[in-house]
Amino acid sequence: MSIKYFFVGTIGLSMLLSACEKREEIKLPYEGDKIVVNTLIQPDSVVYIRVTRSVPSNVYNDGVYKDIPGATVTLTTNESSVMPLQVQTIKGLSYYVSGQKAVLGQRYQVAVAAAGLQAVTATDTLPQAPVAYNATAQRSSSRVQFTLKDQPASADYYRIRIYMTDASTGKGAFLLFRLDPAFNNNLVDYFSQDNYNSLIMNDERFNGKPVNFVLQTADPIMNAGEMTVEVSALTHTTYQYFNTLAAQKDAGISLGSHVRVFTNVTNGYGIVGGINTRKMTFKIQ
């Protein structure tokens, strides 16, 4: 059982939520095949761009999200400097990968053209790195804490995720959690009875101030190894994408409350968004 996104196409990114809903046949308007572009651009990392063809929302087979043969993909910075791209196959999927790393302060544009499809473009900047520190967790507890220092005089957006850190890869499966209502009185807008593997928020409640976050994991932390708290600063574009994606997952397509996932791809679907992630890896006490 699964939910399909309202805009359709392979995301090709590490997605933030998981869901299981009863599938029902609901006819949604389909505007014809379009180009789908997906990339999250991180400073000091090469750029991975996934390009596919859209399909109707009532098609549930993930295998139909196909690459577009002969597509011309262009990545430019500040609307002038072209960054060379090479096609790479990663876990069976094709990506257009830059030979250079993204640089903070640049504006990036992705343009894609393909025979028989309308050409698309999308543009975004890169956010400053989040200021986060003092991440801790205790064994046999369900609480994970850290401090976030928000930047003043600007609207800021964040994604928070946590995972047990594999010693060999430095990665791990994202844990389910929620804000602990006993310790986060200033974040009441984000309280939830349910647990999620990411928290998407803006800084309206704490603009320019340090905030001590206390997260409550769905299950007690029994591992004596290491944990990672991942705090990502998002551009407004990326925030809108993640926020509407989460809202659609919550609504559930079988409930008749359709949420259209935000896209900044002109004439197409997907997301070209800036993100800047800080990972705090620490020994569980």
Q: Per residue in 217-229, pLDDT tens?
A: 999 999 889 999 9
Quick check: is 267 in a domain? yes
> The domain spanning residue 212 has which CATH number?
2.60.120
**In the predicted model, is pLDDT for residue 79 greater than 80?**
no
pLDDT at 156: 97
Count structural domains, the chain: 2
* Domain housing 67: 35-126+263-274
Q: Which residue has the higher pLDDT, 249 or 181?
A: 181
Q: Which of 72, 62, 70 is nearest to 12 (CA)?
A: 62
Reported as a pLDDT band with limits 50, 70 and 90, residue 27 is low
Quick check: is 268 in a domain? yes
**From edge to edge, which strands make up the β-sheet containing 210-221?**
131-137, 141-149, 210-221, 177-179
Reported as a pLDDT band with limits 50, 70 and 90, residue 32 is confident
Asked whether residue 192 falls in the same domain as residue 216, the answer is yes
How much is the mean pLDDT over the chain?
A: 86
Strands 131-137 and 81-83: unpaired
- Rounded to an integer, the average pLDDT of 27-35 is 75
Asked whether residue 106 falls in the same domain as residue 159, the answer is no
**In the predicted model, is pLDDT for residue 282 greater than 50?**
yes
Quick check: is 66 in a domain? yes
pLDDT at 53: 94
pLDDT at 203: 94
Q: Which helix (H) or strand (E) holds 144?
A: strand 141-149
Asked whether residue 52 falls in the same domain as residue 137, the answer is no
> The domain spanning residue 83 has which CATH number?
2.60.40
Asked whether residue 195 falls in the same domain as residue 140, the answer is yes
Quick check: is 207 in a domain? yes
**In the predicted model, is pLDDT for residue 87 greater than 90?**
yes
pLDDT at 280: 97
First vs last C-alpha separation in the chain: 39
**In the predicted model, is pLDDT for residue 254 greater than 90?**
no
Q: What are the pLDDT digits (tens) for 144-200?
A: 999 999 999 899 999 999 999 998 888 899 999 999 988 887 787 888 889 999 999
Quick check: is 215 in a domain? yes
pLDDT at 19: 37
**In the predicted model, is pLDDT for residue 137 greater than 60?**
yes
Say if residues 277 and 228 touch (Cβ distance below 8 Å).
no
Asked whether residue 166 falls in the same domain as residue 122, the answer is no
Quick check: is 17 in a domain? no
Quick check: is 104 in a domain? yes
186/154 Cα distance (integer angstroms)? 19
- Rounded to an integer, the average pLDDT of 80-107 is 94
pLDDT at 256: 47
Reported as a pLDDT band with limits 50, 70 and 90, residue 255 is very low
pLDDT at 175: 96
Percentage of residues of the chain with pLDDT beyond 70: 84
Q: What are the pLDDT digits (tens) for 121-134?
A: 999 999 999 999 99
Long-range contacts, 102-106 (Cβ 8 Å, 24+)? 102/41, 102/42, 102/43, 102/44, 102/45, 102/46, 102/47, 102/126, 103/43, 103/44, 103/77, 104/43, 104/44, 104/128, 104/276, 106/77, 106/78
Reported as a pLDDT band with limits 50, 70 and 90, residue 115 is very high
pLDDT at 28: 56
Q: Among all chains, which residue has been given the structure tokens 């994970």?
A: 144
Quick check: is 5 in a domain? no
Asked whether residue 208 falls in the same domain as residue 136, the answer is yes
Asked whether residue 71 falls in the same domain as residue 136, the answer is no
